Chain A
Amino acid sequence: MLRFILRRLLVMIPTLIAVSMLIFIVINLPPGDYLSNQIAELRATGQEAGLAKAEFLRREYALDRPLPEQYLVWIGVWPGPNGFNGLLQGDLGWSFEFNKPVAEVVGETLWFTVILNLAAVLFVYLVSFPLGALAAIRANSWVDYLAATVGYIGLATPNFLLALILLYYGQKWLGLPIGGLLDAEYENQPMSWGKIGSVLEHLIVPTIVIGLSGTAAMVRRLRANLLDELGKPYVVTAKAKGVPPLRRLTRYPLRMALNPFVSDIGSLLPSLVSGSVLISVVLSLPTIGPALLGALRAQDIFLSGFILMFISLLVLVGMLISDIALALLDPRIRLGKGRKAQS
């Protein structure tokens, strides 16, 4: 097991290098760079006054050099105008869009992003587990159809539309706030129950919106897996032996049906950071999503590059975790090139 983990960790290094190159190439595909575009914009809108600063930054961040050199400077294996300071030295670069270091931009948005997506994931699990299990046990009953209807509505309505509808009526009937993270009066205040309450209030709509479509998919998958499992001979045997219904369900079938959920953990980790982009943009939530979108559109390469690198790292780590968890959960899965399964 340890050897397996070590080997996987070593493979991550070349993977990350390849990913970093790809990311750098892709974000530099559109013509121009942030600053040359900004200079053009300033000239076109009669803001010559802002030019000196933009030109300064171009030189400072080596954007006036050829792309391969820019890449090496960004990674930190080539000296920039101020010596070696790239990702390897822990300097994440500068966000031109936010006008502060990338580390600060990511730091500010990260915690809220994680809270929001964690809330959405909890919502998904809390709603879809009971619903999915019920839908499987009472297959083709009204419960099943109700769960299916709710799920399909969640899947079928575009997220942003749902968000806007909920916002409008939430504000109208329940007085829920529109957009943002908390009420103005709690800004710069120490943590308090009131502040937490305010954040929670702002979380209601986004959580429901982000959660609904995930819930729908989850309910269907759980129902299908559980139905497969419930028809198996050992369940029939258990029934014949008089095992009470609840235990008959939880003892094995539910555990087996959980397999896909565990393999989902791999994608769960990166989605905690990069999920819900569209909703955050629509609802004006200060998460990483809008920052990444804005950075990509404006070619704010250090910010978008770092966020993408960070997400890639999380994907790799998440895959590793879900592989390990699966191995622990399901004896049929073996790690590495162990003994061939006897046919």
Chain B
Amino acid sequence: MPEEPLIVDPTAKGRDLGRSGGWIRSFITQRRNSRIAVLYGYARLVGYNEKRELVPDILKDVTVVDGRDFTLSLRAGHRWSDGAPFTSDDIRYWWEDIANNPMLSPSGPPRFMLVDGKPPQVSFPDAVTARFRWEEPNPYFLPALAAARPPFIYRPAHYLKRFHARYTGEAELAPLIAKYKVRNWAALHNARDDMFRMENPDEPTLQPWMAMSKGTGSHLLFQRNPYYHRFDTRGMQLPYADGLDVTVMAAGLIPAQVATGKADLQAEGLTFSQVPVLVAGEAAGNYRTLLWPEGKAAEIALYPNLNYNDPVWRGLLRDARFRRALSMGIDRRIVNRSLFFGLARESGVDVLPGSPLYKPERTGVWTGYDPKRAAALLDEIGLKRKRGEAYRDLPDGRPLEVIVESSGEKPEVADALQIIAETWRDIGVRLLVRTVDRDVLRNRVYAGQTMMAVWGGWDNGVPDPDSSPEELAPMTQENFSWPKWGQYYQTSGSAGEPIDMPIPQELMDFARRWRHTTDETERRALWSAMLDIHADQIFAIGVVSKTPQPIAVANRLRNVPDKGLWLWDPGAYLGIYRPDEFYFADARPADPEPAGLHRRED
């Protein structure tokens, strides 16, 4: 127990003081998703609380001066899960021996550590203090530490040094390199260091649950970390549940498993279309089905590619009137009613009502169903219909066929496109769908070969003024509206194309100004301006947002909130709702361990 533990009071959130014991059973769809323990665990240096405010978690405290000088204070007496002390040397190890080691980090330190390409000055005054000082504000630093996938700027130095050439001689490394079938010390270090997926049960962690003997590759077990830093007000150490019992299972079988009562907490692999099956099984399986709204800015959004290679089409896609017409040609209500029982929100790509930046007047701008106005706009652009033809033509005589590329992963997206095709036909626009694999889709969009892609809206639908507005500006290749402009920015001009449109350039300037200010009011104003531009320009055509994500929760499992937001970052899905406080109503201390729990004596 650290001398300065973090005391939490579940009752302040309207939760119970729990009981210790029991294993939470869950399924994942791929072995790679063993990260579930780090998402459920959600122990971060600084983390978000349920209101999505940043608060110290593993750290005792963070002091920020001018947004550019960060002092991190550790908890005295804090220990790794193997009992070794956790000190500022673990942060130093990451910075000096991993982030700045050319073998382990070929491209140098990660981007969030650089401001205008310059790294910070780093110092470690004592065993519980680390200091990072940049010359300019770094608004990305703390959000990165709290991310669903954190960079782990602390590593268990005492454990990893034995795989690092700086600390361990060739003679000792050689047998290990042979044993793990890798080719050099750096590969060995990478293989043994996996804080996110916890593939290596020997590597100590600070999460509430730690990986144990590997199971069989399809069955993973994570048991309580005896040195975890959180305690409830009675002095009982968290997590309440003894462990996570995770099985790899084909996505198609997960609903059946849940319906027969094989899962205590399950969201992965469940989609809205399976809700009838899940609800039907509730009584027999002894669980309940929660529906949490998706936290993205839109669940389904069409991205006209402003960097599309065909010049005629590119000109058309860059015409705001065309994008507005397409948006007004979508009957969002039909999509919502027929695919989501009317439980989703009919809107364009915009922040959700829960966000402090939300403004009601933005909704409905160009997103109401109005085929007459849409047709009038298309006439105004000069996209004529020949007599007796259903569809319009481009000015150069080619038919107006919008080819939407989809990754084909979600059946509801395919259904939505069908519905959109119907209403677009009324305004004389033909929609054709092309399904390609997600990696291929991405590569095609980046190369300007895709006219329009269907994807989700901005990842964070509930930003606050301190959240980065990168997704709203042409700063990232990952935004399918302007892949080449984003690439140009990301590669400092060595690839992609410079921005050649005034309004996106304006968005870029706003985003740059946001980065260089730390003033809350100014940040809010910049965000607001950017959101207004998006609502007016419809750079992405949102269809529905806040679609329900089913979560199955066993009746025995308590403290799981009925209402929450299903959001990857910030949030780590269930993470910010603190699964370490979930407990079993019938838990007995020293509950039997789950089946298959046999530590292999290596």
**Residues of chain A whose beta carbon lies under 8 Å from any beta carbon of chain B:** 30-32, 37, 40-41, 43-53, 55-57, 59-60, 81-82, 85, 97-99, 101, 103-104, 108, 167-168, 171, 178-181, 183-189, 281-284, 286, 297-299
Contact = CB atoms under 8 A, between A and B. Distances in A.
Nearest to A108: B217
A99 B218 CA distance: 14
Given A43-B477, A44-B442, A46-B459, A188 B569 contact: no
Contacts of A187: 215-216, 219, 595-596, 598
Contact of B148 (A30, A32, A46): A46
Which of B152, B191, B250, B569 has the largest number of chain A CB atoms within 10 A? B250
Contacts of B98: 52
Contacts of B213: 188
Contact of A299 (B103, B439, B600): B439
B560 interface: no
Interface in B443-488: 443-444, 446-447, 459, 476-478
Contacts of A56: 103-106, 186-187, 190
B183 A85 contact: yes
Contacts of B144: 48-49
Given A98-B31, A179-B253, 15 more contacts: A31-B444, A32-B439, A43-B476, A45-B568, A48-B112, A49-B152, A56-B186, A56-B190, A59-B106, A82-B184, A99-B191, A99-B199, A103-B181, A187-B596, A283-B253
Contacts of B125: none
Q: Name the interface size band of chain B.
A: 35 or more
Contacts of B476: 43
A52 to B, nearest CB: 5
30 contacts: A37-B443, A40-B446, A45-B568, A46-B149, A48-B112, A48-B144, A48-B151, A49-B110, A49-B144, A49-B147, A52-B99, A52-B104, A52-B110, A55-B105, A56-B103, A56-B190, A60-B183, A60-B184, A60-B186, A101-B181, A108-B217, A167-B256, A178-B257, A180-B218, A184-B247, A184-B596, A189-B598, A281-B250, A286-B217, A286-B218
Nearest to B569: A46
Contacts of A44: 442, 478
A123 B595 CA distance: 32
B594 interface: yes
A167 B252 CA distance: 12
B425 interface: no
A171 B253 CA distance: 12
A297 B30 CA distance: 14
A169 B595 CA distance: 25
Q: Is the interface of A mostly helix, strand, loop or mixed?
A: helix
A96 to B, nearest CB: 10
B439 A40 contact: yes
A50 B191 CA distance: 13
A56 B191 CA distance: 11
A179 B199 contact: no
Given A49-B152, A55-B106, A184-B594, A179 B440 contact: no
B439 A51 contact: no
Contact of A31 (B103, B152, B215, B440): B440
A315 to B, nearest CB: 28
Contacts, number: 146
Given A31-B440, A49-B149, A52-B110, A188 B596 contact: yes
Contacts of A51: 107, 110
Given A56-B190, A187-B215, A40 B442 contact: yes
A98 B34 CA distance: 11
A164 to B, nearest CB: 8
Interface in B254-279: 256-257, 260
Contacts of A184: 219, 247, 594-596
Contacts of A188: 213, 215-216, 596, 598, 600
B32 interface: yes
B513 interface: no
A282 B595 contact: no
Given A45-B459, A183-B595, A30 B440 contact: yes
A101 B216 CA distance: 16
Interface in B138-158: 144, 147-152
B196 interface: yes
B339 interface: no
A330 B151 CA distance: 68
B591 interface: no
Which of A52, A101, A181 has the largest number of chain B CB atoms within 10 A? A52
A113 to B, nearest CB: 14
A282 B260 CA distance: 18
A32 B253 contact: no
B213 to A, nearest CB: 7
Contacts of B196: 49-50
A283 B250 contact: yes
A47 B569 CA distance: 10
B52 to A, nearest CB: 15
Given A47-B149, A283-B250, A286-B217, A186 B106 contact: no
A97 B440 contact: no
B249 interface: yes
